Structure 1
Amino acid sequence: MDDHPDPGPGPGTDLPVVVGVDGSEPSLRAVDWAADEAVLRGAPLRLVYASLWERYEGTSLADDLDKPSEQVRAEDIVDAAARRAHSRRPDVKISTDVLAEEPEYALVRESRSASVLVTGTRGRSGLAEALLGSVSLVVAGHAQCPMIVVRGDRDDQDRTGPPGRVVVGVGEKQAGSAAVRFAFDEARRRGVQVEAVRAWRRSAHESTDHALMAGEPARPHERQAADALDAALQDVPADVASGRRTVEGHTRSVLVDASRDADLLIVGARRRPGHYGLQLGRVAHGVLHHSACPVAIVPEEG
């Protein structure tokens, strides 16, 4: 996330919201989300198309442009995305770029000078919403700024029910979590509450009918989870409503369940200096594939 102390409305940041576009329907939904995010941050919006291939492979954008897919080029893709963003948010400053390189490398580089990076899911079949595309997965494992992968099919502008909430998974690092700070910044911008969730599991040999496990005070693992939430939320801002919840179960399953009625699910991902492999833990990997709402992956040092 950016270094500006005031994340709310007001003077904007020079760091743009960057969104990767490829002409697919998932990427156009990511443009919608990114345009909204730019308004919330008072930031410019940067649309980036990166590919070594000249021909567009898809039907959605080709139909919109009334062209055969083999005639759709990079300029058509970014122009259509820019028009969509402008139509949704006319007050946002928009820039575009076409890069002749692999999208994974281009977007990771873009993340070094972005306030947040946004992508969609990408699939070539009906499994697009169930499985995350390789580009988004690789970028999520290396991005240097918070990255939001737009999942689900809800549109904030079409919401008719009560405001949702931002859910943040609290991990092993308790105090000073970048993911927790990002969650409260996002909730403040959106005018919703934060729910901090910590999963816990008892050891296989333990049983609820054991004398030492009887009653709430005697559940050590649940107490440890509650203590972790207390530590993570010790410096929460007073102007954002928050709740906390401990749930027994696997962390991935608990967070996926919490995503079903959330606006945004946030998890942290460790960035280890000098390590060049995919820096994405099992929990982050799992929720990226299965969350029912957009997922933010926030880099955590150490």
Structure 2
Amino acid sequence: MTIPLVVGIDGSEASLEAVDWAAEEAVRHEVPLHLVHAAVPDHEAADLIAVASERAWKAVPTVRLSSEVLHADAASALVSEGRNAFALVLGSRGLGDLAGMLLGSVSLAVAARADCPVVVVRGGAEYRDARFGRVVVGVEDGEGSGTAVRFASREAHVRRCRLVAVHAWSAPFALSEPPPPSGFAPEAHRRPPMQVLDDVLRGQAERYPDATVSRLVIKGTARQALLEAASGSDLLVVGARRRRGHLGLQLGLVNHALLHHAPCPIAVVPQV
């Protein structure tokens, strides 16, 4: 049985925009779409599911669709669903979130705890409708980016678009100076920045030999580099390390900032 792409719905416009995005994504990857509404309790659940189902079929009539109502805490229920999901898709704002919030509390909690990739659908229609023809992935030095790069490479492949791999770096600093801002960009003296990109992309070139890949090295913080690269992109992909001895992921300051401010949909991919 093919595992589904799961989208969380709560009746908000943001969650319906997530349904639109997820319906297209499910068909691209030839997986079923599973709508999940979780609340304790909710007498309007059936109506919410019906509205979301109609929205999905209107967006993509050929999508294979199922739905489920769970009487449980929304974040915990979605994290549980993610244990057997292709990915979890969520809106950027929930129905009950306070005005002025940049990111819904449920979306943030799920992104920090899920075992599968989590996509938070952000941005205007031009970003949600895949009009730019490129996927951006953030690459750090070391072992932390492999899963994210594989996810991003597959996305670019099924979308038939360009993959842009971005690595941010900062110059070595003198001992008398404060360290650079934290993030997943290492210091330049560890490995040449372009080598970091070449090493992590080498395996993907063998898997997708016809792929169009660009390498972008930016001197500065990872937050700034990825926000700039995400402007004019259909999807931003970042990795997240697992916490040692704790449940959930280590999102870090950079990923928190990107989840709140990315101009386009953003995928947080757990490191395997």
TM class, shorter-chain normalised? 0.7 to 0.9
Trace 1:170-189 onto structure 2 (pairs within 5 A): 170-174=139-143, 177-189=146-158
Larger radius of gyration: 1
Q: Which residue number in structure 1 is paired with residue 199 of structure 2?
A: 231
Q: Distance in 2 between matches of 1:202 and 1:18?
A: 42
Q: Secondary structure of the residue that 1:145 maps to in structure 2? A: coil
Measured at CA, do residues 52 and 295 of structure 1 come closer, stay the same or move farther in structure 2, by a change above 3 Å? Answer: same
Trace 1:52-71 onto structure 2 (pairs within 5 A): 52-54=40-42
After TM superposition, give the deviation of residue 254 of structure 1 in Å: 0.9
Amino acid in the other structure paired with 1:20: G
Q: Secondary structure of the residue that 1:43 maps to in structure 2? A: coil
After TM superposition, give the deviation of residue 142 of structure 1 in Å: 1.2
Residue 166 of structure 1 contacts residue 262 of structure 1 at CA under 8 Å; is this kept in 2?
Answer: yes
Q: Which residue number in structure 2 is paired with residue 195 of structure 1?
A: 164
After TM superposition, give the deviation of residue 245 of structure 1 in Å: 0.8
Measured at CA, do residues 193 and 250 of structure 1 come closer, stay the same or move farther in structure 2, by a change above 3 Å? Answer: same
Aligned match of 2:20 in 25, 29, 32? 32
Trace 1:1-302 onto structure 2 (pairs within 5 A): 14-54=2-42, 73-122=44-93, 124=97, 127-128=100-101, 131-155=102-126, 163-174=132-143, 177-205=146-174, 220-221=188-189, 224-236=192-204, 237-272=208-243, 274-276=245-247, 279-301=250-272
Measured at CA, do residues 223 and 251 of structure 1 come closer, stay the same or move farther in structure 2, by a change above 3 Å? Answer: same
After TM superposition, give the deviation of residue 92 of structure 1 in Å: 1.0
Q: Which residue number in structure 2 is paired with residue 68 of structure 1?
A: none
Residue 227 of structure 2 contacts residue 263 of structure 2 at CA under 8 Å; is this kept in 1?
Answer: yes
After TM superposition, give the deviation of residue 231 of structure 1 in Å: 0.9
Q: Secondary structure of the residue that 1:77 maps to in structure 2? A: helix
Measured at CA, do residues 103 and 243 of structure 1 come closer, stay the same or move farther in structure 2, by a change above 3 Å? Answer: same
Measured at CA, do residues 91 and 273 of structure 1 come closer, stay the same or move farther in structure 2, by a change above 3 Å? Answer: farther
Q: Distance in 2 between matches of 1:281 and 1:180?
A: 18
TM-score (normalised: structure 1): 0.79
Amino acid in the other structure paired with 1:199: A
After TM superposition, give the deviation of residue 173 of structure 1 in Å: 2.7
**Structure 1 unaligned residues grouped into runs of 5+:** 1-12, 56-72, 207-218
CA deviation vs aligned residue, 1:30-71 (integer Å, no higher than 9, x gap): 00010000100111110000011426xxxxxxxxxxxxxxxx
Measured at CA, do residues 174 and 278 of structure 1 come closer, stay the same or move farther in structure 2, by a change above 3 Å? Answer: closer
After TM superposition, give the deviation of residue 27 of structure 1 in Å: 0.4
Q: Which residue number in structure 2 is paired with residue 66 of structure 1?
A: none
Q: Secondary structure of the residue that 1:127 maps to in structure 2? A: coil
Measured at CA, do residues 174 and 242 of structure 1 come closer, stay the same or move farther in structure 2, by a change above 3 Å? Answer: farther
Residue 15 of structure 2 contacts residue 90 of structure 2 at CA under 8 Å; is this kept in 1?
Answer: yes
Residue 200 of structure 1 contacts residue 221 of structure 1 at CA under 8 Å; is this kept in 2?
Answer: no
Q: Secondary structure of the residue that 1:234 maps to in structure 2? A: helix
Q: Distance in 2 between matches of 1:220 and 1:242?
A: 23
Residue 127 of structure 2 contacts residue 264 of structure 2 at CA under 8 Å; is this kept in 1?
Answer: no
Q: Distance in 1 between matches of 2:243 and 2:188?
A: 31
Q: Distance in 2 between matches of 1:170 and 1:180?
A: 8
Q: Secondary structure of the residue that 2:271 maps to in structure 1? A: strand
Q: Secondary structure of the residue that 2:124 maps to in structure 1? A: coil
Q: Distance in 1 between matches of 2:79 and 2:193?
A: 34
After TM superposition, give the deviation of residue 157 of structure 1 in Å: 8.1
After TM superposition, give the deviation of residue 220 of structure 1 in Å: 4.8
Residue 27 of structure 1 contacts residue 119 of structure 1 at CA under 8 Å; is this kept in 2?
Answer: yes
**Structure 2 unaligned residues grouped into runs of 5+:** 176-186
Q: Secondary structure of the residue that 1:198 maps to in structure 2? A: strand
Amino acid in the other structure paired with 1:188: H
Identity %: 46
